[in-house]
């Protein structure tokens, strides 16, 4: 297990939690943490499909913030696990609005990393009037180039992982690894989807941190959620038009934002964070010189907590 950075707030339990039926197929898990009368925060996890961790509650001063966290469709404790049907970015945005209304929240600070940054931008652009600002990490704009880098470009840095990833795929199918893996994972045969999901999750998980880390025990929940939903969303370009999130940045450009990015992130390369910062007047970019992709890497965790603390004091970022 990875050690918690010292900058995080102490572990905390939810004030309340539950399940919410969002359609006849999907039920999502939610939890509320911190001060029930505090400044509302929406936490968006990565993946898609990675789900929540108890560590995610610890980026926020529990005396000041009221934090709403949830497992997105098909992820974590939400059911059915790994379900890709009725699962699109637009439906996730609807789920967020359902939760906002359920909790009686008018506006909230939106906090998300990796795919969570993608969803945060998409939600903000759909509902800018509901957002107080944004804390974003490990930017992923879900463009074709980023998806290609995630799958193929990484061989320049981790050739051994790439060789391991392509090994189960017949040579005739290796020209489109995303299609090959998606075909295997989004089928109903466990003998096909389980090995593919585990290979996909391992391919991503072993390059999250800049420095080697002890491997966590295999998790069926993580492997199936990440494998199925990442491949599903990537095969549809995140259900966006190409370049949509930068194109529509004007809808939220008036809101405060801090962007935290690891310099050596080989999952979501820094160029996306840089382009987002360039397109967003007034945003603040924190490029962490000694970090990769992980939210719990020391420099990234420190910058994220510093951002929520600054917003607590000032209502903006400097």
Does 78 qualify as catalytic in the annotation?
A: no
What is the rounded CA–CA span in Å between residue 159 and residue 231?
Answer: 21
Give Cβ neighbours of residue 81 (< 8 Å, ≥ 6 apart). 74, 75, 221, 224, 225
Buried b (16+ CB within 10 A) or exposed e, 7-38: bbbeeeeeeeeeeeebeeebbbbbbbbbbeeb
Alpha-carbon gap, residue 209 to 222, rounded angstroms: 17
Q: Sign (positive/negative) of CA torsion 2, 3, 5, 9?
A: positive
CA distance 259 to 283: 7
Specify whether 114 is catalytic: yes
Active-site entry in 26, 95, 114, 235 = 114
Closest listed residue to residue 237, CA positions, set 100, 158, 140, 103: 140
Question: Looking at the chain, how many residues does it have?
Answer: 318
Of 248, 265, 277, 283, catalytic: 265
CA 35 – CA 169 distance, rounded (Å): 50
Strand-pair partners of 39: 65
Known catalytic residue: 148? no
Instruction: Identify the CA nearest to 292 among candidates 186, 205, 184.
Output: 205
The single residue of 45, 56, 232, 293 carrying the catalytic annotation is: 293
Q: Which residues are catalytic?
A: 114, 265, 293
């Amino acid at each position: 297990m990875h050690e918690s950075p010292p900058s995080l707030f102490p572990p905390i339990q939810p004030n309340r939690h539950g399940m919410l039926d969002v359609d006849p197929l999907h039920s999502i898990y939610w939890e509320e943490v911190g001060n029930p009368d505090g400044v509302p925060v929406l936490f968006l996890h990565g993946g898609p499909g990675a789900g929540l961790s108890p560590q995610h509650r610890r980026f926020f001063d529990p005396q000041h913030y009221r934090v709403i966290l949830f497992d997105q469709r098909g992820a974590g404790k939400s059911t059915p696990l790994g379900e890709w049907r009725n699962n699109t970015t637009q439906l996730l945005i609807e789920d967020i609005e359902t939760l906002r209304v359920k909790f009686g929240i008018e506006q909230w600070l939106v906090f998300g990393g990796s795919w969570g940054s993608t969803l945060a931008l998409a939600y903000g652009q759909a509902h800018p009037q509901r957002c107080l600002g944004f804390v974003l990490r490990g930017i992923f704009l879900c463009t074709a180039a980023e998806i290609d880098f995630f799958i193929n470009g990484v061989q320049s840095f981790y050739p051994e992982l790439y060789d391991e990833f392509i090994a189960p795929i017949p040579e005739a199918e290796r020209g489109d690894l995303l299609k090959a893996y998606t075909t295997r994972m989004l089928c109903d045969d466990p003998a096909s989807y389980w090995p593919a999901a585990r290979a996909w999750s391992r391919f991503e998980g072993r390059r999250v941190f800049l420095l080697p880390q002890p491997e966590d025990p295999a998790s069926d929940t993580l492997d199936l959620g990440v494998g199925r939903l990442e491949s599903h969303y990537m095969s549809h370009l995140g259900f966006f038009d190409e370049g949509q999130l930068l194109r529509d940045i004007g809808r939220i450009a008036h809101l405060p934002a801090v962007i935290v990015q690891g310099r050596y992130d080989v999952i979501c390369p820094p160029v996306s964070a840089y382009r987002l910062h360039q397109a967003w007047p007034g945003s603040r970019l924190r490029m962490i010189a000694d970090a990769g992709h992980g939210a719990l890497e020391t420099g990234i965790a420190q910058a994220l907590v510093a951002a929520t603390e600054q917003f607590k004091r000032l209502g903006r970022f400097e």
